[in-house]
Amino acid sequence: PPGKKVLIVYAHQEPKSLNGSLKRVAVEELSKQGCSVTVSDLYAMQFEPRATRNDIVGCLHNSEEFNYGMETWEAYKRGGLSSDLLEEQKKVQEADLLIFQFPLYWFSMPAIMKGWMDRVLVQGFAHEFPNCYDSGLLQNKLALFSFTTGGSREMYVKGGISGDIRYLLWPMQHGIMHFCGVKVLAPHICFAPEYVSEEKRKEMLVAWAQRLKTLWKEEPIDCSPEWYFK
């Protein structure tokens, strides 16, 4: 709906890839609805995935022994995080919906996107014990993981060689997003695009565009272990 803000965090090296096309379709479709869409194109930005001392501007809280989590928490409170982090946090803060678009690497997200999670979702900004899970600090936001796989759909079922695809979503959706209070929409998965016809790939894009048309009417998934492991 008009006025909604969307942040697409996108991790693929090639704009002509299916991931690039899925990202483009999302930008077009959501913009058409009157949403304002921002894209963090991590590879194009040469986003730094490593969590280091460089993320803190100025003096350390404890210069004797470096503790990244504690230092970034303290830096967040005094406005002393590096500018690239502040920029991403501002995008997250403003967004109603976060879409993560990526190819599945080793049952997970690419390192550059994991680095985004590691560095951007700082304590004090995204969570602050006991304010996590349902009381996480990023409440009233939605997230959606949209990704491509190398393996076929049959490989990612409970009795399949790779196990249920939902097992892989547990650390991403539950351990990161839900931990920060974000509600999660059902994932959008394009299975084995490299091994299907051009025709089928086009259908994948059409299906994504169709889903986006009614996305705002969707209910989030049940944020409990049962969704993943039942």
| Range with the poorest average pLDDT among 1-5, 103-107, 198-202 | 1-5
pLDDT for 90 equals: 98
How far is residue 193 CA from its own chain's centroid? 20
Q: Does the pLDDT at position 127 exceed 90? A: yes
Q: What are phi and psi of 219, to 5 degrees?
A: -90, 145
Helix (H) or strand (E) holding 29: helix 18-32
Note the pLDDT tens digit of each residue in 108-117.
999 999 999 9
Average pLDDT for the chain: 97
| β-bridge mates for residue 175, sequence order | none
How large is the average pLDDT for residues 172-195? 97
Q: Does the pLDDT at position 4 exceed 90? A: yes
How large is the average pLDDT for residues 149-172? 96
Predicted model pTM? 0.97
Q: Does the pLDDT at position 120 exceed 90? A: yes
Q: Does the pLDDT at position 23 exceed 90? A: yes
Q: In sequence order, which residues have a C-beta less than 8 Å from that of residue 2 and are 6 or more positions away?
A: 33, 34, 35
In CATH terms, the superfamily for domain 5-229 is: Flavodoxin domain (3.40.50.360)
How large is the average pLDDT for residues 221-225? 94
How large is the average pLDDT for residues 175-181? 98
Question: 198 is written with which tokens?
Answer: 């051009």
How large is the average pLDDT for residues 69-88? 98
pLDDT for 177 equals: 98
pLDDT for 1 equals: 80
Query: DSSP string spanning 193-226?
Result: GGGS-HHHHHHHHHHHHHHHHTGGGPPPP--SHH
Q: Is 204 exposed, middle or buried (0-12, 13-18, 19+ CB in 10 A)?
A: buried
SS3 annotation, 90-129: HHHHHCCEEEEEEECECCECCHHHHHHHHHHCCECCCEEC
Residue 51, helix vs strand vs coil = coil
Q: Does the pLDDT at position 33 exceed 90? A: yes
* pLDDT-derived band at 11, boundaries 50, 70, 90: very high
**Domain ranges within the chain, ordered by starting residue:** 5-229
| Separation CA 40–CA 91 (nearest Å) | 9
